[in-house]
Structure 1
Amino acid sequence: MPEKDESIHSFIMRLYMVHSCLKKSNIISKDGRWSRAINVCDEILPKLYLYNDMDIVNSMMNIGWAVPDKSPFSDPTSIIGHVSRLIKVKGEKVNRKSHLEVKFCMACVIESIKSNGFGYFKGAWGFREVRFCKDHNCTLVTVESSSRNKTIDDILMVCSGRYPSGCFCELLDNSPLDKYCHEYIRTEYYNPSIVDDENYVYIADCLRQNIKSLLQTGRRSFPEPVFKYIGLKGNDSIYLYGSDPVFTRKEFAGLIDLMFKCKYDYFIDFWNENAYKHKIYFGVLNRNSISTEIYVYRNIDNCGECVVANCPVKEYMQ
């Protein structure tokens, strides 16, 4: 399985190495860097299914590839699309304008060889801004990028604990950004249970529409913070997505969060009576290896009649 801080390129590369077909991979670009677009060939694909989606997603996040959207009205299952595209012919693209430099810390590699029996490349090393290893207080070494075949040979040398010819280090100005940039680039791993945290609640379109209707109907006495948030001065209904005022989805999400924090009884009573938390499994390699929970309106009995085409609850109903 991928190491906790390993890049997706490194993990797929190790699969190719184990099965002696690294030369057939597209992990390395023609100019000798980590490729922006990678996919898994037919020879390796069956081996990939031995792992779970969560491990693959984490290794993608290590290079800034798969970033989950935690807004309440987003689709929490969209992150698995990166895994789906990884096993397709065209592959998946890293969100970069150029290919990624192959950099490493030899001390880290040797530590991995001693503890794991193999060397690997950390995801943070692929970022242009990261040029320093704070664990060993040293500058990262860059593999000379001239051709695909040379870089592949150099990577094999690095993974065996040896420096390849032509590699070099950049001079740093010793600024905090140089040494600790990777701490800001990646601060947490994707947690499939993150929706259990009250700060990350996913709401299906059916429930969102009913919350909107609830707040638009009649005149309500809203808490003062709610009035300040929406810009109303009296006990009036909230005309969401209308002309007075206009709310974006992000603003509507903020309003719902505010009503929870204010413990607005009218809304809380509605939520407790009508919000139903439904768990869905959406793995590609292993369906049950990654899951999340989404709140729907009352139950899922009427999901089959729903006209919303991209609802994840409908797509992954058991």
Structure 2
Amino acid sequence: MDGWTITLDVRPDHKTVMSEACRTAVYVMTHVMEIRRMNGIPFTADEVKPVLSALHMGLSFALGRWVAPAPPVGQNDLEKVAWGEWGPMLCDPPRSINSGWWYPKDQVALGELLACLVPAFRDHRKEQSLRLQIQYAITALADRGFVEQRIMIGAAGLEHVMWENLKLTGRLTEAEYGNTRVWPAHRKLRTVLENAGISLNAEAEYLPAAATFAAEQQASRDQPVDGADIVTRVRNRLVHPKEDQEPVYRIKGLVTDIWLLTRHYLALLILHSIGYCGSYHDLSRTSGWVGETKPVPWASKQRQNAGPGV
């Protein structure tokens, strides 16, 4: 990918070691990895650092917890260690259940993700923006801590994505973006979701509390209410003291459903921004088969636009 060859090899006792690590919540080395230039030309530590950063951020985003390539060392032509980085890397203990959108046995999806991320991290401006969005997403994806905190962190990530998609692209001026009467949060979120082809439905089968809340809001406003409406409305009631919080907690399970929908939107919008067209696990659902994935919503359209031979 992007001129690099990355080889990962799992340790032979991986299953046993991971089982013990999940039980005791300790850190373990799970794989060995080799990074080379595809053309065999030597490279410097500075040249490979964006690749290591893409691996750190990408794998953490995919799994919904922090994992890191550590400790990296560089060898010279004589296979002697010429460089090493042994500092602490941001990493979480392993868990038996992943919070992320990636099914860990899907090697094709991992390859597609890294093929999108590695060149993106070579672009300094893109890397800065993407890094922040992924950091928000990792916190929002994880099923730990208060649900309200995850919603707020996820909402901050969505706001960053909306600003990038609507303001930085020139679609809206700064004044237009800040005009909440004409461009309220739900309209901005709806616009970026529709641009990516992401469904705005809150399906009662998987998000019953969110569907109930949407139906109540629709009845009181006498106009359609979708996922963008309810995500921003609940977030506002949690954040702003002047908003009445009673409707949020009156419907059992609503806060959890909004968290699921928020992380679902944020993960898909990040994947869309880097051009990922592989498979993903739907983060708005908490039921289903292990390994149940589907193509991202825009995959077929992007492949058609790419033309024949793809």
TM-score interval, normalised by the smaller of the two chains = 0.3 to 0.5
TM-score by length of 1: 0.32
Who wins on radius of gyration, i.e. which is larger?
Answer: 1
Higher relative contact order (CA 8 A, sep 6+): 1
When you count helix as a share of all residues, which structure comes out higher? Answer: 2
TM-score by length of 2: 0.33
